[in-house]
Structure 1
Amino acid sequence: MAVLGAIGMIARSELRRRWAALVALGVLIGMVVAVVAGTAALVRRTATAHDRLERASSVADLQVSYFSDDPELARRVAAIPGVAQAWAGVGMVGRLEDQPSLAYIGIIGGPADHRGLYEPVVVRGHGYDPAEPDEAVLDERAAARWGVGVGDTLRLRLLTPSDFLSFDTGFGTPGGPVLKLTITGLTRMAGENARQMPLAVSPALASRLDPVSTAVMLRLEPGPRTVSAVSTALWRLGDGLARDPLAGEFPALQVSRPATDGDARIAATQRVLVTGLVVFAAVVGVAGLAAAGQAFYRHHAASAHAQRIEAVLGLTGLGRAGARTLAALPAAGLAGVTAAAGPLIAGLLEPLGPLAWVEPHPGYAPHVALVCGAGAAGLLITLLLAGGTAARTGRRPTDPGPLVPRLGMAALAAGAFGPAARFGSSAVSPLPAASSLSPVGSAAASAATGQGGAGSPLARGAACMRGPVWLWIGTAFALGRRRDRSPATRRPAVAGAAIGVTGLVAAATIAAGMNRLVDEPQRYGWNADLEITDARPEIVNRLAADPRVAAVSMLDASTATIEVDAEGRALRAPDPIQGDGPGDAGPGAIGRGDTSPGEDVAVYSLAPKATTRAGPVTSTGAVGWTIFEGVVPRGPNEVVLGPRAAQRFDLGVGNTVSVAANDGGHAVLTVVGIGIGPVPGGERLGESMLVEPATLARVQRTQPLRSALVRAVDPVNPVNLAAALGTEYELDVGRPPTEIANLGGIGRLPALLQTVLAALAVAAAGHAAGTTWRRRHGELAILRTLGFTPSQTARIPLTTSCVSAALAVAVGIPAGMLIGRLVWWEIATATGVSADLAIPVRVLAVLPPAAIAVGLLVAALPAWRAWRLLPGAVLRGE
């Protein structure tokens, strides 16, 4: 009981005398934990936004589309083994009547009972009334694109089925009815269906219209092979169907995986945002807790003599540390409350960048578990730091002499530099005996046997040096370590600044790659100024004759089947087990029994057209593919693969791949290049093939969809050309693919991250400078006693700070470049573009001089104090 009473008395005394410092430490730790926990809450909301939207909007496992109104076929699809639930909606296309240029919009509608499938989340306004034939909801992104809001009226003219199937030959004015729809709400929907059919109409209206397509949403039974089995069954069902001759460019059954495709399109953006936030939280946490630990150590070191008295009186080390931990309990409570505020405030923040568009529940959303965890972490971390640093200072041995542990560099000056310090000479001439200078010099010589005495290697090396003494001493201070037991002083002071520089360079490297990708459209395969959709040969001829057009190419798009083995690997040659034509799996099946015959991939061919301003052109012309490796295809058995397709099938330049031919045979193609082009087919970026037109005719599964890639002559503004042609043709002015648009939508996050990391690096350097020279003022006083002038003494902190800054840059630049290279490789791979590194030249050029300038700035106050230092007063206090 007496021990507990003593502990309580000491705790009350500590709290009464030093409550202000404890409160400040509690607030500091609470703020650090609050920032880290708030960032963790934002990371969680950002990383899970798409998955939560998938669940909230009930995205289907598979979507099967076909271009007819055939309820019986929908029932056959729903009856395939492995299908748990199905919902069949009808699709239509309408021409927007109130837009300055030609524009079409996809429409979907169906029964009111969605059966847990396809339920867009209304984020503004309200859903349509199922019984009202003039109400609809619109995807939020499409609404922003066309300037439509809740309550607005959307006027459009529907295409008839024959109009839709005549897109490639032209149909004039759509022959369907004109609709006036009131937009009752704006929606968010995961998956690709929201992009293809952003307008959802009421069941009352859908039942009255003549659809052009049917979309069957499927929920599959759980199981690792269910998707493969159902996909194979759909393949067979599609091959056995009769096709409309006018719909030759479409497969009989078009199968997609909405959730998987949508997730892949935002994967790169999600990775950038999450990585950036995690790096930010880690740097703040490490730097903040290191500073708090050092501050707590200094707090307890000030009363180290009291602990020695308590030890003499019989109080154990555990008891002494416990008393100071008990004194920190109010500060720990304050830290817990402050820390809990971080996730509460972060609940106001929605996912960053373009992922805000996929947040299913916008608005305030705090995470209760993180709030409680942050509060507990703030409390525990404060108590642990208080107890740990108190125990460490309590274990320090009694000093045999106050000056001895701190005289290493002073002894170096006395024994190695001698009068050179006094006179500022660049020549170094050691004195024979340091003890003749003063009693302090005698103590220095005694203490210097292991740390820079006259006979030490450091002193012998110093004898060979040339230059100002203060320069070498300042450098030695930056590179040396002290002998006391402080964890803060045993580690290089450069560590905190190096961590900040590493993060800064890594963030700058990633930002340089993202900016280059967004600013240079050719890097994601866009080498044209605009694309004309459904371009017929006569349209291409007119464009080639247009004096405003510098180059035009016909782009044909279809689907080809890369043959795979039982494990899904691409076949390098035709499988001898696989026959030509129907196999043993029944009518309409090809291949090896129950195994899918292959993987469908978008395939393109490019046919440049000579214009009135140019001679004959080839596929190597300006309007074409961007080749990352190898060359463009020049022969009938050559192919260029997109980066993601090459990685998916483990193929590289020089490999061969077997592709199913439409005559029942096989086409063995040689990979001559890795490259990327436009994605008018809507596939994921980098998941396509480029072949010669003759090869496309041999491997295409459907009649190709045609478009024209157009480049304007230099004096013509592409925007003006698009405005002129847009009144006659449906065109695209080169909006970046979804993956690139998502990266571009991140906005200023990389710059903000660089700013924060730079600020942390500066703060770490400033903190290191302050703590270093508070500890070394006794050594500076000894140097003044040995003959250093105020000016020379002031230059030592400046030199030490500059050397530390230079070391931080020397460590941080290569480490940051390495981390940035690894992260950018992950981003580029997920995006489907080239992974070559963009060097942040401007940052790397500015960083070294900026680091030196910061070093001089943070050392200005220590240098001023060193200049004004009174050695007698300092040494008398020792």
Structure 2
Amino acid sequence: PSLLAATLTSAGPVTSGIGVRMALEPGRGRTAVPVRSALAGTVVAIAALVAAAVFGASLAGLVGTPGRYGQNWDAELSTGFAAVPASLGAKVLSTVPGIAGYTEGNSGQLTIDGQLVPAIGVDPPPGSTGQGDDGGYLTMLAGRTPDGPDEIALGAQTLRAIHARLGETVRVAVNLATGIAGPGTERTMRVVGVTVFPDFGLQDLSDTDLGNGAVVPAALLTTTQANTRCVQGVTCYDFFLLRYRPGTDTAAATTRLLAAAAAVGCPFGACTVTSDQRPGEIKDYAAVSDTPLALGLVLAVLAVATVAHVLLTGVRRRRRDMAVLKTLGFTRSQVQGAVAWEATALAAAALLIGIPVGVVAGRWAWALFADPAGIASQATVNVPIVLLAIPVTLLLANVIAAWPGWTAARLRPATVLRAE
């Protein structure tokens, strides 16, 4: 027997007590109703629906928020393989009044513990105090950005590939003349951070990708090119990460940047401005971002079907109980109210269990997905949407109960009880 139903029967309207009893007590014999399996099925459907909503919101947040996949700037000005001094880059950037800030960097490759890894070198923005502060241009999952010549930050996938951990040291080889891995200076570097990478790379070099890549001080990847005044001891850069002021016409800014780069000698087509640096995985995820929504709709239909089935089955098997209630004085509206209370109790019990389980399952599923990908494992729980599921589910349950309730109210006691 249900303690809740007994309490409602003694303390509240008789329709509520009868309805809750029908929702939570299966009954006996040939009139028994599979309320426990129906409740379990509804709980599973609601939990799976909430889990799909949490996972879908997290995936949508990932593909729709550049900072979550590592792009914390509006555009990248790349000079290709023709690195330039910081002063020349500042001269070009000063021609665009909409630029609110920028930082310089280099692309290249490293050999880390025998494995070839795409790399970038990023210096603190002009005016920054340094000390591991990149002004928020890099998305760090743990630790900090490299500050000294013997510090390095890696993507989560790269860390796993070389079997290293945060705080450990790795052997790094880089050719200082070209910024490309090969026979050259080898050094021991300490892993000080775990980073998320957007798409960085030059032609014929492998690109960074979410959890795959390395970050070092830009000087480690600088090149020597006499024609651009990049000589030994001078740090030069092959890309600049730009942030625009709100309201800036990005198309016009791109045109002015390319014109200014050409004016200082950048060959046609060598300098480029890119605003979309989504990694390959992000583009793939964007193509399937609607899948959790479709799954959620299927699960919602499953939950509706489960509730409808148990209500119709309950009315059919409990025809004798309904007839006895009507004989004792139940009106049609009271019969309909009892069936509505049955649907409400069933939905409320399923929500009480299903929502917390669904949130936990969604966060767990996102963590399983995010950790191997090398992104933040913190799931996005859209609390208003989750809370909205409560009144929507209760309303839908009562809408579903309308037809079974109407059917039960039309029962003729004499016809049903004739066999008695």
Q: TM-score, normalised by structure 1?
A: 0.40
Q: Tell whether the 8 Å contact from 1:481 to 1:492 is kept in structure 2 after alignment.
A: no
Q: Tell whether the 8 Å contact from 2:24 to 2:35 is kept in structure 1 after alignment.
A: no
- Name the residue aligned to 1:657: 170
- Name the residue aligned to 2:90: 541
Q: Secondary structure at the match of 2:105?
A: strand
Q: Tell whether the 8 Å contact from 1:642 to 1:688 is kept in structure 2 after alignment.
A: yes
- Name the residue aligned to 2:71: 526
Moved more, 686-695 or 795-804: 686-695
- Name the residue aligned to 2:253: 721
> Residue 693 in 1 paired to residue 209 in 2?
no
- Name the residue aligned to 1:620: 133
Over residues 364-420 of structure 1, what are the superposed CA-to-partner deviations in whole Å (9 max), with x where a residue is unaligned? xxxxxxxxxxxxxxxxxxxxxxxxxxxxxxxxxxxxxxxxxxxxxxxxxxxxxxxxx
Q: Secondary structure at the match of 2:418?
A: helix
Q: Tell whether the 8 Å contact from 1:554 to 1:707 is kept in structure 2 after alignment.
A: yes
Over residues 621-679 of structure 1, what are the superposed CA-to-partner deviations in whole Å (9 max), with x where a residue is unaligned? 44621112222222333222212212333433333333346696753333222122333
Deviation at 1:821, TM superposition (A): 2.7
Structure 1 segment 547-626 matched on structure 2, within 5 A: 547-563=97-113, 598-610=114-126, 615-616=127-128, 618=130, 620-622=133-135, 624-626=137-139
Deviation at 1:749, TM superposition (A): 3.2
Q: Tell whether the 8 Å contact from 1:620 to 1:632 is kept in structure 2 after alignment.
A: yes
Structure 1 segment 199-214 matched on structure 2, within 5 A: none
Deviation at 1:807, TM superposition (A): 1.9
- Name the residue aligned to 1:804: 346
Aligned pair in 2 of structure 1 residues 726, 496: CA closer, same or farther (>3 Å)? farther
Deviation at 1:461, TM superposition (A): 5.7
Provide the C-alpha distance between the structure 2 equivalents of 1:766 and 1:719, rounded to a whole number of angstroms. 55
Deviation at 1:490, TM superposition (A): 6.6
> Residue 677 in 1 paired to residue 197 in 2?
yes
Q: Tell whether the 8 Å contact from 2:115 to 2:162 is kept in structure 1 after alignment.
A: no
CA RMSD of aligned residues (A): 3.1
> Residue 820 in 1 paired to residue 362 in 2?
yes
Aligned pair in 2 of structure 1 residues 723, 853: CA closer, same or farther (>3 Å)? farther
Q: Secondary structure at the match of 1:507?
A: helix
Q: Secondary structure at the match of 1:532?
A: strand
Q: Tell whether the 8 Å contact from 1:557 to 1:704 is kept in structure 2 after alignment.
A: no
Aligned pair in 2 of structure 1 residues 459, 843: CA closer, same or farther (>3 Å)? closer
Pick the aligned partner of 1:765 from 302, 307, 317.
307
Provide the C-alpha distance between the structure 2 equivalents of 1:621 and 1:459, rounded to a whole number of angstroms. 59
Q: Secondary structure at the match of 1:492?
A: helix
Provide the C-alpha distance between the structure 2 equivalents of 1:795 and 1:718, rounded to a whole number of angstroms. 61
Deviation at 1:524, TM superposition (A): 0.6
Q: Tell whether the 8 Å contact from 2:45 to 2:299 is kept in structure 1 after alignment.
A: yes
* Residue identity matched to 1:536: V
Aligned pair in 2 of structure 1 residues 539, 760: CA closer, same or farther (>3 Å)? farther
Structure 1 segment 195-234 matched on structure 2, within 5 A: none
Deviation at 1:609, TM superposition (A): 4.6
Pick the aligned partner of 1:501 from 25, 46, 51.
46
* Residue identity matched to 1:558: G
Aligned pair in 2 of structure 1 residues 624, 459: CA closer, same or farther (>3 Å)? closer
Q: Tell whether the 8 Å contact from 2:33 to 2:313 is kept in structure 1 after alignment.
A: no
* Residue identity matched to 1:795: G
Structure 1 segment 841-860 matched on structure 2, within 5 A: 841-860=383-402
Structure 1 segment 89-128 matched on structure 2, within 5 A: none
* Residue identity matched to 1:654: G
* Residue identity matched to 2:115: E
Provide the C-alpha distance between the structure 2 equivalents of 1:459 and 1:841, rounded to a whole number of angstroms. 28
When Rg is computed on C-alpha atoms for both structures, the one with the higher figure is 1
Q: Tell whether the 8 Å contact from 2:122 to 2:218 is kept in structure 1 after alignment.
A: yes
Structure 2 unaligned blocks of 5 or more: 176-182, 202-206, 224-234, 263-270
Structure 1 segment 770-781 matched on structure 2, within 5 A: 770-781=312-323
Structure 1 segment 856-867 matched on structure 2, within 5 A: 856-867=398-409
Percent identical residues: 31
Provide the C-alpha distance between the structure 2 equivalents of 1:767 and 1:460, rounded to a whole number of angstroms. 22
Deviation at 1:853, TM superposition (A): 0.2
Over residues 471-501 of structure 1, what are the superposed CA-to-partner deviations in whole Å (9 max), with x where a residue is unaligned? 1221121111233379972743223333332
Structure 1 unaligned blocks of 5 or more: 1-451, 564-597
Over residues 429-461 of structure 1, what are the superposed CA-to-partner deviations in whole Å (9 max), with x where a residue is unaligned? xxxxxxxxxxxxxxxxxxxxxxx6xxxx96996
Aligned pair in 2 of structure 1 residues 795, 488: CA closer, same or farther (>3 Å)? closer
Which fold has the larger relative contact order, with Cα–Cα distance below 8 Å and residues 6 or more apart in sequence?
2
Q: Tell whether the 8 Å contact from 2:20 to 2:341 is kept in structure 1 after alignment.
A: yes
Aligned pair in 2 of structure 1 residues 842, 463: CA closer, same or farther (>3 Å)? closer
Provide the C-alpha distance between the structure 1 equivalents of 2:237 and 2:108, rounded to a whole number of angstroms. 6
Pick the aligned partner of 2:243 from 711, 721, 737.
711
Q: Secondary structure at the match of 1:558?
A: strand
Provide the C-alpha distance between the structure 2 equivalents of 1:859 and 1:463, rounded to a whole number of angstroms. 20
* Residue identity matched to 2:16: L
Over residues 350-376 of structure 1, what are the superposed CA-to-partner deviations in whole Å (9 max), with x where a residue is unaligned? xxxxxxxxxxxxxxxxxxxxxxxxxxx
Deviation at 1:871, TM superposition (A): 2.1
Q: Tell whether the 8 Å contact from 1:629 to 1:675 is kept in structure 2 after alignment.
A: yes
Provide the C-alpha distance between the structure 1 equivalents of 2:33 and 2:190, rounded to a whole number of angstroms. 61
* Residue identity matched to 1:478: A
